[in-house]
Chain A
């Protein structure tokens, strides 16, 4: 083990190293010494903890609520941090870095660990060299996720020790502790966060940073090459390590029983005479809600939640009559406590879905005297207010192409990104969506199923449908443009092969490429639309392998999507401008009618990243008959005021999509 003075040089505690948003600590005046107090989000605290633990390598794919961890880490001198194409890649890169001898971590949202699950389950067999931390940010309540899985089970399933912070100070401390545990026990460590820990700010007092420890590389193939013969030898090691970790968990300081001010009791509702004592058992941010709602009751706070400190739990539980388990999502602790022979009250009262809060926790235990506030009387029902769902921005390049797909009555297999917002009315442009990259593969299966069914039907309906006929198509496009009534219009014409996958560029690089290989190799009639806006927009504009820039701001190569698709075996690759609706309709119609795989790349930078595409548009009142067609694109700049429709100038980005669907030439650019 050697220390590298060169790298160590930059490592003094400077808050601006971690977050530009942190105040000058020295400047404070007040009743306590504030020299060491920082107000950090959980994500910033993890980044600072990793930095102070001497971590030098980090890899991640952006995903709310985990994204800012690595962004904050990357701002520091002397460290290396990167955006990986996906979480599996990120974790494997971090494993490599650990074997290479520097402390490393990978950060991801909860569903990211599904992607990384393959290395995750074998990683404990090979262990680590330098400390290795995996950060999973779960999203109870699904603020920005497709499910609310409870990743605590991943720790148990893979036999990886897990730490659960309840605020930013713990996030900082446990990040540092995680690296120590990792090296001491030769194991990866899971740091399990939730949205409310990631995105809440609380006070962090940092401790002196450790210098980075650089561990010499040594070959050890019996430990690191998991052929069956080696793996059989390593599995018992995993179990032995687990016993050692269980002992460690018993003595872990933050697995703590807070007795409360006194032995709290409540009157049993039935008889009204017998007094019963109460113990809360909780972990993660739920601990804070318990302390808020029932400030002086005894609490057993579990911080190292795998392996559990069974003896300590047993000892504490046997001293109280009523055991109330408060945890978000699944009954993870509750089941374990039940297995120890106790009968705790948990999910009978605490919801298994959604996020908890102090009100839910208090309401779950009406027999206890908790803290509650008096509300103001409200002259309305708060659930009766009109909702404000997130929407595609004015000028968003996804709008035109998704509108075109909906008009063509495509079966749209969607993916994860801003464009998923087009599922909402009025666009309603999605049929299905599951996870990153699934748009393409599900479209493949869907399309194959339609083919199988139609070949089983002797007289397929699709045989009589119009399509492929150029002259006919031109007429249809014209009809669509003019909106001639009575004539057949393109939009009412369902192409013969209507299955389309819609996927963003970052999502395509994440997990779409293998799906496209599937389509090319196994020949389905899908059209894959790649919505290339040159950024990872939904999570806040992160770079990816197509942007030509790295997380650390260096120029690099960028993937040529067209060439990539062709190399995978897709012969027909077209590029369209999503602001040109006519072109989009025409190209999509052609490609959707092709009895072969095809790709349409919709190319336009995110409107929030680029200068406005043009001058705003306005409605020429004398031409407008308020038909409302322009409102079908769901643009926030196009609004109805009474009978009139107008375009809000400050909102309009000037993309011109509304003008291209107006049949009365009533929408004009301020340019003209």
Chain B
């Protein structure tokens, strides 16, 4: 996998999207802290509060030699890391021309869909492939389950993302250790490695 590295004055962006409770905010912090340790200027944006009651959650990590806005402009993100398909589509306007999705093919119906008042885009997966054919689409929840818990799907996707970033494995594990509670650290380490070796696993 070719690593990306911000050139002088360039800022790279990762948008993370999911559903409240899927660990999007934690993944954002892990990614941000790892890039910080590698020496980049980093800014992240998160939304707390109402968004966490099962609502959409979208956050971002931006890095480079000097980052200004914590919010990502449209068409600027090199990666959209999504733990849910509809939320990946919602974040799509942020994807750059060269950008790709790293997405779990999980589907969580929002309440209006559950109640039959709206319909889930049935061709979500095809649309993702159409927008960015080079995207990596995983069954991150099953991979996480094999690692010990479906809840680690967010960390599986970070593992896959790590293939593209100039961050050492040592740094990743250091950050995981500092941010993840000790009792589930091992599960998350396995989940991260599984995401990092997704190609071999197939």
Contacts and interface: CB of A to CB of B under 8 A. Distances in A.
Interface of A: 21-24, 27-32, 34, 37, 39, 41, 64-65, 67-68, 143-144, 167, 195-196, 199-203, 285, 288-289, 291-293, 295, 357-359, 362, 371-380, 382, 385-393, 418, 421, 424-426, 538-540, 631, 634, 636, 638-640
A358 B93 contact: no
A375 B95 CA distance: 6
Contacts of A391: 53-55, 111
A426 B70 CA distance: 36
Contacts of B15: none
B186 interface: no
A28 B37 CA distance: 5
B175 A288 contact: no
Contacts, number: 219
A88 B179 CA distance: 35
Interface string B51-70: 11111100000000001111
B44 A200 contact: yes
19 contacts: A21-B29, A21-B179, A22-B178, A27-B37, A30-B39, A144-B51, A196-B71, A200-B70, A201-B32, A201-B70, A202-B70, A291-B69, A358-B69, A373-B97, A376-B132, A387-B118, A390-B52, A391-B55, A418-B53
B165 to A, nearest CB: 13
Contact of B96 (A167, A373, A638): A373
Given A196-B45, A373-B75, A634-B111, A386 B54 contact: no
Nearest to B84: A388
Contacts of A418: 53
Contact of B43 (A202, A378, A392, A631): A202
A303 to B, nearest CB: 16
B153 to A, nearest CB: 14
B115 A426 contact: yes
Nearest to B54: A391
Interface in B118-172: 118-121, 127, 130-132, 168, 171
B1 interface: no
Nearest to B181: A20
B95 A425 contact: no
B73 A372 contact: yes
B14 interface: no
Q: Which 6 A-B pairs have the closest CB atoms?
A: A30-B39, A144-B49, A64-B49, A390-B53, A373-B75, A375-B75
B69 A29 contact: no
Given A23-B175, A29-B37, A68-B48, 4 more contacts: A29-B168, A39-B32, A64-B49, A167-B70
A358 B47 CA distance: 17
Contact of A393 (B54, B96, B99, B178): B54
Given A143-B49, A380-B121, A292 B69 contact: yes
A375 B97 CA distance: 6
Contacts of A357: 69, 71, 73
A371 B74 CA distance: 11
A636 B114 CA distance: 7
B50 A143 contact: yes
Contact of A167 (B43, B49, B90, B99): B43
Contact of B86 (A24, A200, A388): A388
Contact of B68 (A64, A196, A291): A291
Given A202-B67, A288-B69, A385 B121 contact: yes
Contacts of A359: 73-74
A390 B49 CA distance: 10
A27 B127 contact: no
Contact of B87 (A373, A388, A392): A388
A376 B97 contact: yes
Q: Which of B86, B112, B168 gathers the greatest number of chain A CB atoms within 10 Å?
A: B112
A540 B89 CA distance: 28
B129 to A, nearest CB: 10
B20 interface: yes
B95 A200 contact: no
Contacts of A41: 46
Interface of B: 19-20, 29, 32-33, 36-56, 67-71, 73-76, 86-87, 89-90, 92-93, 95-97, 99, 109-121, 127, 130-132, 168, 171, 174-175, 178-179
B51 A288 contact: no
A29 B114 CA distance: 48
Contacts of A68: 48
Contacts of B114: 631, 636, 638-640
A377 B74 CA distance: 12
Contacts of B113: 386
Contact of B56 (A23, A376, A388): A388
Given A21-B179, A39-B33, A374-B75, A292 B68 contact: yes
A393 B53 contact: yes
A24 B174 contact: yes
B49 A378 contact: no
Contact of B97 (A65, A374, A540): A374
A371 B38 CA distance: 27
B86 A386 contact: yes
Nearest to B109: A639
A421 B49 CA distance: 13
A70 to B, nearest CB: 15
Q: Which of B56, B111, B112 gathers the greatest number of chain A CB atoms within 10 Å?
A: B111
Contacts of A425: 115, 117
Contacts of A295: 68
B131 A376 contact: yes
A37 B122 CA distance: 45
Nearest to A38: B36
Nearest to A634: B111
Q: Which of A24, A67, A359, A386 gathers the greatest number of chain B CB atoms within 10 Å?
A: A386
B110 A28 contact: no
A130 B131 CA distance: 59
A491 B118 CA distance: 28
Q: Which of B52, B54, B121 gathers the greatest number of chain A CB atoms within 10 Å?
A: B54
B38 A143 contact: no
Nearest to A41: B46
Nearest to B52: A390
B154 to A, nearest CB: 15
A639 B45 CA distance: 33
A316 B44 CA distance: 32
Given A34-B39, A199-B46, A199-B47, A386 B132 contact: no
B73 A30 contact: no
Q: Which of B43, B68, B127, B171 gathers the greatest number of chain A CB atoms within 10 Å?
A: B68
A379 B95 CA distance: 13
A200 B115 contact: no
B120 A386 contact: yes
Contacts of A200: 43-46, 70
A30 B37 contact: yes
A421 B93 CA distance: 28
A540 B114 CA distance: 26
Given A23-B178, A64-B48, A393-B54, A37 B171 contact: no
B75 to A, nearest CB: 4
Contact of A379 (B32, B33, B119, B130): B130
Given A24-B174, A201-B29, A201-B44, A382 B97 contact: no
A28 B127 contact: no
A376 B37 contact: no
Contacts of A390: 20, 50-55
